[in-house]
Amino acid sequence: MYGTEKYGINGYSQNEPISDDDIQPYIPDLMKYLPPWYKDSAIMIQLQDTMAKELGLSYWHEEDILNQCFVDTATWGLTFWEKVLNIATDLNKSYEDRREVVKAKLRGSGTTTVQMIKNTAEAFSGGECNVIQHPESYSFTVQFVGIKGIPKNMEAFKQMLEDIKPAHLAYDFKYTYTVWNFLKDKNLTWDQAKTNTWDNLKVYDG
């Protein structure tokens, strides 16, 4: 909005339809509302076609604006979610990564609990997580069990974790990897394994 946001930060125009194909599902058939003798009028067909495309574009914008009201479908509207939640906007990040941060911040509101940390971790990783407490060392472990390997948005998750955890608690992470016995059970031969990188094999699901 002019006067409240830095110019260009929302990048709204990047979501504009770039072809008729984008708005085709939204274009109504206006000719069916006219008397049948107009169906052979080239002028009327052209007129109704032009108006229908404008209506289709209007309907597209209407749905696009509605999408910004929900984190999972927001695109240019993520800027407003981030502003409300006091999250720095980084347009270099993907929509998916930015949504993860927003959802984690929403889940992390209120008094910090083990369940809150678990919810936040799962929002970032997209899979099941465990939080293991170590009272004797004033620390806890976040274990990612629903996905294999290191979640891609870990730096943002660490920043979020620093914001919501009690300051005196330390933490570490435990990741899930594929073991060789699992690969053998999947009948993966050595020749097949050689065609993969070690990073790929560590998160292999078969």
Residue 168 has a pLDDT of 84
Whether 55 and 132 map to the same domain: the answer is no
Q: What is the pLDDT along the chain (206 residues), one digit of tens a residue?
A: 444 444 444 444 455 545 678 888 999 999 999 999 998 899 999 999 999 999 999 999 999 999 999 999 999 999 999 998 888 899 998 998 899 888 878 876 666 788 888 888 888 877 889 999 998 998 999 998 877 778 877 888 888 888 888 888 899 998 876 544 444 444 545 455 444 554 554 444 44
Number of domains in the chain: 3
Whether 25 and 92 map to the same domain: the answer is no
Residue 165 has a pLDDT of 83
Sort strands 170-174 and 139-144 into parallel, antiparallel or unpaired: parallel
Distance CA 205, CA 61 (A): 41
Whether 105 is in a domain gets the answer: yes
Question: Residue 182: which residues within 8 A CB-CB, separation 6 or more?
Answer: 204, 206
Say what the pTM is: 0.52
Whether 2 is in a domain gets the answer: no
Whether 162 and 102 map to the same domain: the answer is no
Residue 147 has a pLDDT of 77
The tokens for 14 are 């990047």
Crossing angle of helices 95-107 and 114-125, in 10° steps, is 170
Residue 18 has a pLDDT of 59
Whether 37 and 57 map to the same domain: the answer is yes
Whether 119 and 183 map to the same domain: the answer is yes
Whether 3 is in a domain gets the answer: no
Task: Give 74's strand partners.
Answer: none
Contact 175, 149 (CB under 8 A): yes
Whether 26 and 89 map to the same domain: the answer is no
Residue 12 has a pLDDT of 44
Whether 10 is in a domain gets the answer: no
Whether 59 and 100 map to the same domain: the answer is no
Residue 178 has a pLDDT of 54
Domain of 144, in residue numbers: 114-203
Beta-carbon count within 10 A of 135 CB:
8
Beta-carbon count within 10 A of 105 CB:
21
Distance CA 123, CA 99 (A): 9
Whether 8 is in a domain gets the answer: no
Whether 128 and 104 map to the same domain: the answer is no
Whether 95 and 129 map to the same domain: the answer is no
Residue 47 has a pLDDT of 93
